[in-house]
Every structure is written in C-alpha cells, then in structure tokens.
Structure 1
Amino acid sequence: MTTTQEKIAAGLERAFATHGFAEPNVETLRDAAGVSLRTLYKYMPSRANMVMAALEHRHQRYLAQVLNDLPDDPSEARSTLMDRVGAWMRTEAAHGCLFHAAVAADPGNASVRALLGRHKQEVALRAADATGLADQEVALLLVLEGLTQSWPLHRAEAVTAAKRLASALAAEMP
C-alpha cells in the first residue's frame, strides 16, 4: 500500500470501529480518511473496497501489536499474549471483534468472510507457535476468542481466566 492508501485505510478502520459498518455515510468515511471524496474513490472505488482496506489494516495492526516480539519462553509468551489481547481490547476494540462485526453487517460477502477466516487462522497459528501450543491452534483460538468476547463484561478477570486456560492447555501437552 502507498502512504496515501495506508492513511485512508487507517481512517476507515477508525470510522468503522467507532460507527459500525452500516451507519457511516460516505462523508463520514471521507472525513475519517482525511482526504477529498475524489481521492477516497481513487484509492477505494467502492464501499466494499473501503471495508476490505479497513479490515486488512486492522489485521496488520493486530498482528504487530499482539503477536510480534513475544517472549521466547512459551509460558511467558502465553501470559504476555493474553495481556496484549486485553490491552488491545481496552484501547482498540472494547465492543468486540471488528472482523465479526463486518461479517454480521454483510453476512453474504464472501470476501469479508474469507478475510475473517484468514485473520483468525493466522492469529491461531502464530499464537500457538509462540506459546508452545503447536497442534492446539483451535483450542488456543477458542481461548483468545473467549477473551475477546468476554472482555466487555469481565475485563481484567477475562485476561486472568484466559491465562489459566492457556496454562491448562500447555499442561496437557506431552
């Protein structure tokens, strides 16, 4: 992506995270992107392109903030991962997963569903690798998704519970 595309994608991500996918009109999206309407449509010729760019931007930011540079020790990595997901929820996603919200807003959109699948698969694989839970990707993803979904109700308690569950998964490993 070019710098202009990245700027637009970042603004669109913020707009969709704040307003959802149905509410923001093109003027709201243009304002969030910080560009003219002409420039917005030059880089993102349709609302569907805007949604995909916003979600792709979100995906890259999530990977960088939550999964990059985890500690080498698997136990420390599990704890750090859960803390980072909690921090992400506190600062970026207090209302839940933006990818799930996008699918809920447009359930027939195969591209959005595919991006949701790619995002979750990459998170699961990278998290399992970093935390010593290879071959437990689905179970670890279930813990991470549970943390994400329970965060609005339980906050720090959800992080603590997720750490316990991840430790229990590790204890079951041969």
Structure 2
Amino acid sequence: MNSVQSFLIDAESAELNLLQREGATAVIDLAVQFSQLGKGSDIELISQVIGRLSDVQVRDFALGSHGEKSFDTYWNMWLYLLKVAPDGFIAPVACLFATLAYERGENELAFRALDRASIDAPRYALTVLLRRVFGSNWPAHAFARMRVELHPKVTAGIFGQ
C-alpha cells in the first residue's frame, strides 16, 4: 500500500493536470465505493483521495462533487476520512466536511471541523474563507448554489471539457 504522502501533488509537477485528473476521478470512485462498502473501502483509494486533496483543484472538484442524492454518502465519507487522515492532510478534508455540515444547518459542527483544519494548517486559505462565509450567516442554500455553479468550471479546468 502507498502512503498518503506518496499521493501528494507537487504544484510544479510536469504531470500536474494528469495528477489532478487522477485525484478527481479517485474522489468519485471512492464515493461510489463508500456508498457500497463504507469504512471497508479500499485503503489505497482512501490514501489516494486524501493525498490528492492536497491540490486546490482536486479539493475544489471534491467540494462540488456531491448532490442531493449522494449527500449522505459524502457526509459519511468525509467524516471517515477526517478521522483517518494523517497530520498535514487534515485541513482539506475538514473543510469539505465543514461545508456539508453548514449546508445541513449544523453550524456548530461546521465550525468545529474548521477548528480541526486550523490546528492542522493554521494558514489554510479555505479555512479562513469558510470562517468568513459561515460567520456572515450566508444562507446555506445560497452557498450550495454557488458551489454547484462553480463545479463545471473546476471540472473543465481539470478535464478540459
């Protein structure tokens, strides 16, 4: 099994776009697998997703990859990954989980997830942004709509569509 560290994406890599595509595909593959197997999902795939989320584009793809029907699957998946992610890889997962908690109206839980992200990476930009958004009491449905509207742009950037 490869470690999470082996899936870290170097922003200077000549294969950056390929690695981003692999990461985005891994997010979807894990969600499908997680819907069937839950915590019994492939550990290599879990490691790949956690590692690839180190890339902002992969993380932003993951942010918009769930819908109403898959919400609970992603909730359980991000919660589990938050529990197993090693230090240095927690912030992206915690932010993803925080957005789901916010959309579900569980603001206290959303802020606790952001606290976890801050402990892992004190200057993580998405944590700072989400604290502002959540603190402004922006309606969860408006946040969800923005997330859905941005997803095709992120997808196009990764997959060239």
Give the structure-1-normalised TM-score: 0.29
